[in-house]
């Protein structure tokens, strides 16, 4: 074949081709279209990242590709959507079921709601394999769990979703999406719930699968470190429209749209703010030798497991007006410690003082004075909000029961919704009508309704896009100044910890292995484990390539 002939060969057709798609919202919505005039393609073996604020249409567009638009008024009104030359919009439900799972794998944003709570995770993975004619032997299931870096892959399949940490549940969901070797993997915030070391392993796995299987990946994320790590191309969405598309380096280094520049300017960095010492402040929370062991599962349907030491002699102090960030890998005990502090579970041993009072048992926290003063923002907003109640009831009912008048409760609700970036008009909607990030903001507003003295925030911004994340972190800082609020901030993102924390404590296997002022820990870590966490931050290896980021942040400020 001559050189001229080689050059004139047609370019292979893309695996996914989206042509001028409009997806209409139900009547009465804030805008007419969830997606408007979207045109984009995804090649075989390509990683396309879609970024944009919560509600910009990212997840709706991804759902349309897999034929997963919810039946509540969302519908495609214009355009074409082709998968490997086949019009997805013309397929009936049986045809779509054969496509999904076998050729299109989908990783949902919230694993707790994507997994069946009544089945073991091994049984759910087996069903995904069997539905498409693949063998579902214990060895194959263990192999898939092992590839996801899950602990005890041979036996973890006997556990139920509620018995796993948030990161472990997400890895199970990824194993299910990859089980049948799809051509396209749609990943909707797949690493949101994962600690940085596990996140790094999952990203490496996805990139390896991209190469070995010519796997195309549509990756929705708000983490620009992840984008820089894995993306070939980037599409930016705003209000349902794709406003900028290009190769990853050009979009991240020389963004053309003001909106893209604002998103990049909101990305947190590892540059910790200089904060005054708080050693002279009163200690609101004092923990000494806290222990907690999760007993082995027993029951008619559950196989006998083994006990898990979740907390192994934890010592911790939190002062008035201080933010202490608690970081560590999934399963290290961070959330368990937060649940002990808020009285959601009983500790086995250790000394616990709160506001100067000894707390002998969890029930001591449930008094009329202490309960409003200690509040928690949960990691999974979908499962922590009552799906049958509207936002108005979710936010006002607890404070009405505590004695606040109806007028005061509604005024406080409107103020807090505005401060977390939501309009008061959303108060009559139920949780299912919101994106994952919007639900997390509602959960934060609910906790703040009580005007607490101590807030335990379990991954409170992990589901938020970077611009809203920055707003919420600024809000929390403002509330600390106004109210003297102390906060235990549980996070897997050391960049977020750098922005918000006075001190950082690092947990590993139920113990605090290092605690120091934020700047000291980020730049002079003493433990090997803290150094490993810092090294695993996505995109950090490329930070030298984008000094423009600090310029963007300075100019935007």
CATH C-level class of 322-344+363-536: alpha beta
Long-range contacts of the stretch 474-483 (C-beta < 8 A, 24+): 475/419, 475/420, 476/323, 476/500, 479/448, 480/321, 480/323, 483/451, 483/453
How is the chain split into domains, by residue range?
A: 3-265, 322-344+363-536
Q: What is the DSSP string of 40-83?
A: EEE-TT-EEEEEE-TTSSHHHHHHHHTT---TTT-EEEEEEEEE
Q: Are 188 and 108 in contact (CB under 8 A)?
A: yes
What is the value of pTM for the model shown? 0.75
Q: Fold for domain 3-265? A: Rossmann fold (3.40.50)
**pLDDT per residue of the chain (557 residues) written in tens, 0 to 9:** 444 444 545 567 899 999 999 999 887 777 889 999 999 999 999 999 999 887 889 989 999 998 888 766 788 999 999 999 999 999 988 888 888 888 999 988 777 778 999 999 999 999 999 988 888 899 999 998 988 878 888 899 999 998 887 678 888 988 898 888 899 999 988 877 677 777 787 788 788 878 887 899 999 988 888 898 899 999 999 999 999 999 999 999 999 999 999 988 888 877 766 666 777 788 999 999 999 998 765 544 444 556 788 999 999 999 988 999 999 887 789 989 999 999 999 999 999 999 989 999 999 898 888 888 899 988 777 778 999 999 999 999 999 988 899 999 999 999 999 888 888 888 999 988 887 678 888 988 999 899 899 999 988 887 677 877 787 788 778 877 777 789 999 988 888 888 889 999 999 999 999 999 998 999 899 999 999 888 888 766 544 433 443 443 444 44
Question: CA gyration radius for the chain?
Answer: 24
**CB-facing half-sphere around the CA of 98: CA atoms within 13 A:** 5
> Is the fold of 3-265 the same as that of 322-344+363-536?
yes
Structure token digits, residue 131:
């539905």
Beta bridge partners of 219: 49, 187
Q: With b meaning 16 or more CB within 10 Å and e meaning fewer, what string describes 66-94?
A: bbbbeeeebebeebebbbbeeebeeeeee
């Amino acid at each position: 074949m001559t050189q001229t002939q080689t050059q004139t060969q047609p370019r292979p057709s893309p695996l996914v081709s989206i042509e001028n798609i409009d997806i209409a919202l139900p009547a009465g919505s804030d805008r007419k279209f969830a997606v408007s005039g979207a045109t984009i393609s995804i090649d075989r073996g390509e990683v396309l990242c879609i970024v944009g604020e919560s509600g910009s249409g990212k997840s709706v567009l991804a759902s349309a590709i897999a034929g997963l638009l919810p039946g509540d008024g969302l519908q495609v009104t214009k355009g074409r959507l082709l998968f490997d030359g086949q019009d997805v919009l013309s397929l009936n439900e049986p045809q779509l079921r054969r496509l999904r799972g076998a050729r299109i794998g989908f990783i949902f944003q919230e694993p707790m709601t994507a997994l069946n709570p009544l089945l073991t995770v091994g049984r759910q993975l087996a069903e995904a394999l069997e539905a498409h004619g693949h063998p579902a032997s214990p060895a194959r299931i263990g192999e898939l769990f092992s590839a996801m870096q899950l602990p005890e892959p041979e036996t973890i399949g006997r556990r139920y979703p509620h018995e796993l940490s948030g990161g472990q549940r997400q890895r199970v969901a990824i194993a299910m999406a990859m089980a049948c070797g799809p051509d396209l993997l749609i990943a909707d915030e797949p690493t949101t719930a994962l600690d940085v070391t596990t996140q790094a392993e999952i990203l490496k796995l996805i990139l390896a699968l991209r190469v070995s299987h010519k796997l195309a990946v549509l990756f929705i994320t708000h983490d620009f470190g992840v984008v820089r790590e894995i993306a070939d191309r980037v599409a930016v969405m705003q209000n349902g429209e794709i406003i900028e598309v290009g190769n990853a380096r050009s979009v991240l280094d020389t963004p053309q749209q003001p909106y893209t520049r604002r998103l990049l300017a909101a990305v947190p960095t590892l540059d910790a703010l200089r904060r005054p010492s708080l050693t002279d402040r009163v200690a609101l929370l004092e923990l000494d030798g806290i222990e907690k062991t999760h007993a082995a599962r027993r029951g008619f349907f559950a196989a006998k497991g083994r006990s898990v030491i979740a907390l192994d002699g934890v010592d911790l102090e939190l002062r008035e007006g201080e933010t202490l960030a608690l970081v560590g890998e999934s399963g290290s005990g961070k959330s368990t410690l937060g649940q002990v502090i808020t009285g959601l579970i009983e500790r086995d041993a250790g000394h616990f003082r709160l506001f100067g009072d000894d707390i002998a048992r969890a029930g001591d926290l449930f008094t009329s004075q202490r309960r409003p003063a200690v509040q928690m923002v949960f990691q999974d907003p979908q499962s922590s909000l009552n799906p049958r109640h509207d936002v108005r009831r979710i936010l006002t009912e607890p404070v009405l029961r505590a004695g606040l008048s109806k007028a005061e409760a509604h005024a406080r609700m409107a103020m807090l919704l505005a401060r977390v970036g939501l309009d008061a008009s959303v108060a009559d909607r139920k949780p299912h009508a919101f994106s994952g990030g919007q639900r997390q903001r509602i959960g934060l507003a609910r906790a703040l309704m009580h005007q607490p003295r101590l807030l335990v925030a379990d991954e409170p911004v992990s589901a938020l896009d970077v611009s809203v994340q920055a707003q919420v972190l600024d809000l929390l800082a403002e509330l600390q100044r106004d109210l003297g609020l102390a906060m235990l901030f549980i996070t897997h993102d050391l960049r977020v910890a750098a922005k918000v924390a006075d001190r950082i404590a690092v947990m590993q296997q139920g113990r605090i292995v290092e605690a120091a002022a934020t700047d000291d820990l980020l730049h002079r870590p003493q433990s090997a484990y803290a150094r490993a966490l810092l090294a695993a931050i996505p995109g950090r290896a490329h930070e030298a390539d984008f000094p423009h980021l600090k310029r963007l942040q300075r100019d935007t400020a």
